[in-house]
Amino acid sequence: MCGLLGLVCTSDSDAAKARAAVGTALRCQRHRGPDETDTWADGEVVYGFNRLAFIDVEHAHQPLVWGPPESPNRYTLNFNGEIYNYLELREELTEKHDAKFATAGDGEAIVAAYHYWGPGAVARLRGMFAFLIWDADERVLFGARDPFGIKPLFYSSGPGGTAFSSEKKSLLELSDVLGLPQRLDNRALQHYLTLQYVPEPETLHTGIRRIESGSSFTIAPGGEVKEARYFFPVFDARPVRSKADADSLYQRIADVMRDSVGKHMIADPDITVGAFLSGGIDSTAIAALAKEHNPNLIAFTTGFEREGYSEVDVAAESAAAIGVKHIVRTVSPDEMMDALPLIVWYLDDPVADPALVPLWFIAREARKHVKAVLSGEGSDELFGGYTIYKEPISLAPFEKVPGGIRRLLGKASGVIPEGTRGKDLLRRGALKLEDRYYGNARIFRDDLLRGVLRTYDERVGHQDVTAEHYRTSRDWDPVARMQHVDLFTWLRGDILVKADKVTMANSLELRVPFMDPEVFKVAAGIPLDQKIAHDTTKYALRRGLEGIVPAHVLNRAKLGFPVPIRFWLRAEMYDWARGIINDSQTGELIDKAAALRMLDEHKESKFDHSRRIWALLVFMLWHGIFVEHRIKPEVPEPVYPVRI
């Protein structure tokens, strides 16, 4: 797990400027790799690297030079992530191609696979990754990002060349080198206020994009990035016709999860891997399976001192049941307010998910004890875990209503007062799936956004983000289509971004065993009646984890890690929120008077505006840091040892 930086410059003079600027750009992502920092250059190509070392700590340094015997210095690798099947790949490359390796690390397996198998080798990598490979013979850069988007990879192109980085802020430092001014992207801002994150491949800066998850690319000096998708997720449900079929499915789930967790525990013997533990089935299963590989496993939980908003008690019971040491970090509203500007700096782009703040605190606590943690992200998207996946069942009666009448029902919902029971059900029932579902977070509806966003554009909508994913899934059942949309929106835009950013902010590697190609193969074949069944979600997963997960968790309803901002914004956080809005210089973008009215309506309990207010606050802090340069969080220097 590391932070990479790579530039493919237009000319030698641009490369000279890049070499001079790389040091500053690397310091912006020092937290991603405090163990080692190094740079490398070859003509128009410049690399920078921050390393957080796990495998062959003493020898697998980067940037890593590798080549076949006839051209030993042909390739140079810049790699962020972990390849969990690297031992199998190295063995096959040695047996079939007599490949030679100078280290025991996973990086050489990537380069050798690319050399012998070509660009298609990336589809054989089992892990989380973003990497660059410079081919000095062909003078071309090849790169790729993992199938689900666990690891980030930003890029920016201008007259001076193209730069790639694990951190967007590093690219902002290279604007002069690239010759590209950075401006706020109003279209991306509108998407953010709708979705609570900026969807790929956009960022909030017009000149910076993201290599999409499951994609590879090539670029030559003076050329353009040519991107190609190598991972095409397909939910191919297979009917379960008998008890034997069902039992076989449940066993496959248990087997693939045990295998995935085992591979995700890989590290040098003197490096400790722990686990995050909530009160839910996903993290509990991961911790229980990880305990099989590390009898001294430490589990970490965060919570709040408010009834109904903490899973600490359930997590403690789970930790006792599976026999792991348990560390708890309780977070107060004062701590959240104090930490949020720094967290927004680490995020690069705003993510209005309040859960990322307590996650930052527990990551900070965990890094005192371990260097990596396993976590349960991705289970809900793969196995059908969100409550909203039940919606196609509850709205099924509307499907029998003629289109004209459904449209009338939709118009009727518009005159029903906000907050009236059944208003949203009527509104959503009148819409087709493609129009009503665009992911788990729906912050500002269009009618509400018009009153707050001064740059509101009628031509911009969630269909810009979801239309292609609905097109490719048009023959699937509605829940599978919702899962597919979430894979490309909510999962990689919110869930995995916050997991990567706030853990790496603390130089802690987070590993996600559910986000594994082999796990996806099993999950993708689960039929609808094995996802949503017996009034629960993730039914097949729950059955597969029987005997692994303690009984008190196995059928527990999903809590969803709520954060009590609804209450705090009416009390402890009210003055703080009002101050952020008043001080913000976003008046040309946001109607601040409307934002203050929303805050007061929320304080008076007229409406629950908490998520919308939070989205505005996070954006205003982001704007204060990256646009106004008025807010300057004090970024701590990472001082962690190589091994824990």
Residues designated as active site: 2
Q: Look at the block and give the residue holding tokens 């996600």.
A: 512
Q: Give the separation between CA 439 and CA 388, rounded to whole angstroms.
A: 9
* 273 in Cβ contact with 249 (< 8 Å): no
Q: Which helix (H) or strand (E) holds 161?
A: strand 161-165
Burial 334-373 (b: 16+ CB within 10 A, else e): eebbebbbbbbbbbbbbbbbbbbbbbbbbbbbbbeebbbb
Pull the structure tokens for residue 489.
């929106």
The tokens describing 451, both together, are: 């009153």
Whether 22 contacts 39, CB under 8 Å: yes
What three-state secondary structure class fits 446?
Answer: helix
In whole angstroms, how far apart are CA 458 and each of 428, 447, 449?
Answer: 20, 11, 11
Write out 107-129 in H/E/C secondary structure. Answer: HHHHHHHHHHHHHHHHHHCCEEE
**In which region does residue 177 sit, left (phi positive, over 0), alpha (psi from -120 to 50) or beta (all else)?**
alpha
Is residue 50 within 8 Å of residue 167, measured between CB atoms? no
Contact by Cβ (8 Å): 466, 485 = yes
35/289 Cα distance (integer angstroms): 29
Nearest-CA neighbor of 163 among 34, 29, 14? 14
Return the exposure string of 582-610: e unless at least 16 CB atoms fall within 10 Å of the residue's CB, then b.
Answer: eebebeebbbbeebeebbeebbeeeeebb
Using CA atoms, how far apart are residues 132 and 110, in angstroms rounded to an integer?
10
Both tokens assigned to 4: 């990479």
* Alpha-carbon span 517 to 504, nearest angstrom: 23
Could you tell me which of 131, 163, 137, 230 has the C-alpha nearest to residue 25?
A: 163
Paired tokens of 190? 């509108």
**Please, which residues have CB within 8 angstroms of residue 20's CB and are 6 or more apart in sequence?**
none
Is the distance from CB of 137 to CB of 48 less than 8 angstroms? no
CB within 8 Å of 191: residues ≥ 6 apart:
198, 199, 202, 460, 462, 464, 465
